[in-house]
Amino acid sequence: MSSFSKIKALLPQLSASEAKLANFVLDNAQQIRTLSSIELAQAAGVSQSSVIKFSQKLGYKGFPAFKLAIVDDLNLQSLKQLNTNERLPTNNDDPIADLAAKLIQHKTTVLEETLQLNQSEDVNQVISKIKSARKILISGIGSSNLVANDFALKLQQIGLPALSQVDEISASAYLATMHKDDLFIAISSSGDSKSIVTLAEQATRNECCVVSISKYGNNALTEQAELNLFTAFEKEPVEHAGILTRTACTLITDVLFLGLTQSHSRWQKRASLATDNMRAIRHN
């Protein structure tokens, strides 16, 4: 998992001093190669202890391991791809062609970084849980609900017992019928949506397996989940529109769906048949 992706994903949760250090690392990654922890602290304008704690917050044992990860990432990718300043913001006076180009750039970034935040082993474990589930309930609020509905429909197309519920009361009623052989997939970009967390708590009490899809790091939803998949953070071009959040979440659910269909030829045939049937309905 890329250290740069970790830093970007955690940015909204960092304290002022941590965010200052994080932005310095992202903007001056090449310098990290030659800096000690003391020198990095001085350059970023924070304390040495902040550098050590920041390294540990990212999952490294200390600064040497963090520095090595930075060097490895620089060897794999160009600084231009990793430098947040290279990602052009949208402006009110941008022509449509420029807006489209910038949106593609932002979407590409969030897709690549979401992939880097998730291990193949974790994705495969979720696929196994979906395969073996007796019932599957998928819930999300706002733009996450659009992803939940789309994923439930895809699973239905290959004959899996999936249902999507946005209404908390309806979802709670359905969860009351679910037990240890069932699966609850909770989608929340923040990981702190009260209604989704409440449903996850209910699913946990019923001994259901809970899978979360949320922002990277620890949050109220990941604490309830047995398995966690993460989305990268990228500032939205339009506040509250959820464009990039939905893009990241949909990538995860689409990868899960492709993994499912590729694992069984019968499901591939069902998906093709469902597509043909929907085409026929549209043309009638």
- The pLDDT tens digits of the residues spanning 274-284 come to 666 666 666 66
At residue 82, the pLDDT reads: 43
What are the tens digits of pLDDT across the range 153-163? 999 999 999 99
Residue 81, SS3 per DSSP: helix
The more confidently predicted of residues 42 and 243 is 42
Type of residue at 201 = E
pLDDT of 227 > 80? The answer is yes
Alpha carbon 16 to chain centroid distance? 24
11: DSSP letter: G
Half-sphere exposure of 202 (CA within 13 A, CB side): 22
At residue 6, the pLDDT reads: 85
At residue 278, the pLDDT reads: 61
At residue 79, the pLDDT reads: 39
pLDDT of 63 > 60? The answer is yes
Domain boundaries of the chain, sorted by first residue: 1-83, 120-283
What does DSSP say about strands 209-215 and 227-231: parallel, antiparallel, or unpaired?
Answer: parallel
- Mean pLDDT throughout 220-227? 96
Mean pLDDT of the chain: 86
Q: Which residues contact 266 (CB under 8 A, 6 or more apart)?
A: none
Domain 120-283 has CATH 3.40.50.1370: no
* Residues 153, 89: Cα–Cα separation, whole Å: 34
The more confidently predicted of residues 70 and 265 is 70
Type of residue at 137 = L
Alpha carbon 7 to chain centroid distance? 14
The more confidently predicted of residues 88 and 8 is 8
First to last CA, the chain: 48
Residue 186, SS3 per DSSP: strand
State both tokens at 96.
Answer: 């449509």
Strand order in the sheet with 209-215: 162-164, 136-140, 183-187, 209-215, 227-231
Most confident by average pLDDT, 54-68, 92-106, 111-125, 201-215: 201-215
pLDDT of 85 > 60? The answer is no
- Mean pLDDT throughout 98-118? 86
Find residue 136's DSSP bridge partners.
162, 183
Hey, CA dihedral for 58, 60, 61, 65, is it positive or negative? negative
- Mean pLDDT throughout 252-275? 80
* Residues 250, 165: Cα–Cα separation, whole Å: 17
Residue 197 burial by CB count (10 A; 0-12/13-18/19+): exposed, middle or buried? Answer: buried
Percentage of the residues of the chain whose pLDDT score is greater than 70: 84
At residue 184, the pLDDT reads: 98
pLDDT of 43 > 50? The answer is yes
- Mean pLDDT throughout 181-209? 95
Residue 208, SS3 per DSSP: coil
* Residues 218, 230: Cα–Cα separation, whole Å: 10
pLDDT of 204 > 80? The answer is yes
- Mean pLDDT throughout 12-17? 87
At residue 208, the pLDDT reads: 97
pLDDT of 177 > 70? The answer is yes
At residue 211, the pLDDT reads: 98
pLDDT of 83 > 50? The answer is no
* CATH class of the domain whose range is 1-83: mainly alpha
The more confidently predicted of residues 240 and 76 is 76
pLDDT of 242 > 80? The answer is no
At residue 141, the pLDDT reads: 87
Percentage of the residues of the chain whose pLDDT score is greater than 90: 51
